[in-house]
Amino acid sequence: GAVVSQHPSRVICKSGTSVKIECRSLDFQATTMFWYRQFPKQSLMLMATSNEGSKATYEQGVEKDKFLINHASLTLSTLTVTSAHPEDSSFYICSAGTYYNEQFFGPGTRLTVL
């Protein structure tokens, strides 16, 4: 089956630092990748949609200069949280989508900003 990996699975950083999260589709090519954020005991909220080689489309209220998304290839997308602050602490989940509207989720990255 289709597998999506995320790295790192858990990261703790100091306030003001930047953190990069990688999302890879291991055995298929993803036409589109999505980044979701989930705060404790809440639902998943879409942050942005990215297509390979194009600029990401951000959802309303998501700061594009703070959450940098790069989708350099059909198997890799990265999310960089710049100048992270404690309120950015959350569970970040990516999903890789195919042309047939199948979506495969990564295992998630738990970010804690001290």
Query: Applying CB under 8 A, which residues contact other proteins?
Result: 30-32, 34, 38, 42-46, 49, 91, 93, 95, 97-105, 107-108, 110
- Using CA atoms, how far residue 37 sits from 1, 18, 25, 27, 81, in Å, is 24, 17, 19, 24, 12
Provide, rounded to whole angstroms, the least separation between the CB of residue 66 and other proteins: 20
Provide, rounded to whole angstroms, the least separation between the CB of residue 74 and other proteins: 12
Q: Which one, 15 or 39, has the nearer CB to other proteins?
A: 39
CA gap 112, 5 in Å, rounded: 20
Backbone angles phi, psi at 87, to 5 degrees: -70, -10
Q: Which one, 47 or 81, has the nearer CB to other proteins?
A: 47
Provide, rounded to whole angstroms, the least separation between the CB of residue 10 and other proteins: 10
Within 8 A by CB and 6+ apart from 46, the residues are: 34, 35, 36, 59
Q: Which one, 51 or 70, has the nearer CB to other proteins?
A: 51
